Structure 1
């Protein structure tokens, strides 16, 4: 089971909650798997996770490190650079020319399609 409440006590991180083979419940951050806790019930595991997260944040502060920000709380520019093999680059340029669109538009379409397909496969 996953939950993601942007206004929760977990600072916007997605929580994975599941029962292990021994019957204990494990709660952890999907985006920070090293932050986790066990309990004999889902509620207890979440309580323990809250304590673990509080201690983890205190540790970051005491070591003068910034506390990680949940992806749901970050701002994204819509731009990033990707290095690809020159043969892939050439093939994409040729495909974009045939489609009469920019390389950027082609790559954006392909990434959008891939992400949407991935989301639908997770939902199944």
Structure 2
């Protein structure tokens, strides 16, 4: 059952890639490291709920091609990635995802350092927010 859910999420992601590519837009997650940043200082905030619609990218390019720009998964259903995504989906349904993501806030948007699959699962489920440790 859960693998079918992964395949549905992947179809959404593949559709996003196709649509954005046709529009001349980058079809993958934006990476904060690609921005020309001028950071004067950083501050760590306590764990808090952040709106999922403001989680717009990833901190580094490493995970960019695993997700479409809408955070839906793109890797094959037989991959280790798909298995982990599916287990997170099941955990969310059974007990909820407890571990907060780690992210960086920049200009009102959040870029995930750790927890891209958690974001993906919750965005698929249309959750309004996610717990995060924000820098």
Using the size of structure 1 for normalisation, the TM-score is 0.30
Bigger share in strand: 2
More helix per residue: 1 or 2?
1
Higher Cα Rg, which structure:
1
Higher relative contact order (CA 8 A, sep 6+): 2
**What's the TM-score once normalised by structure 2's chain length?**
0.28
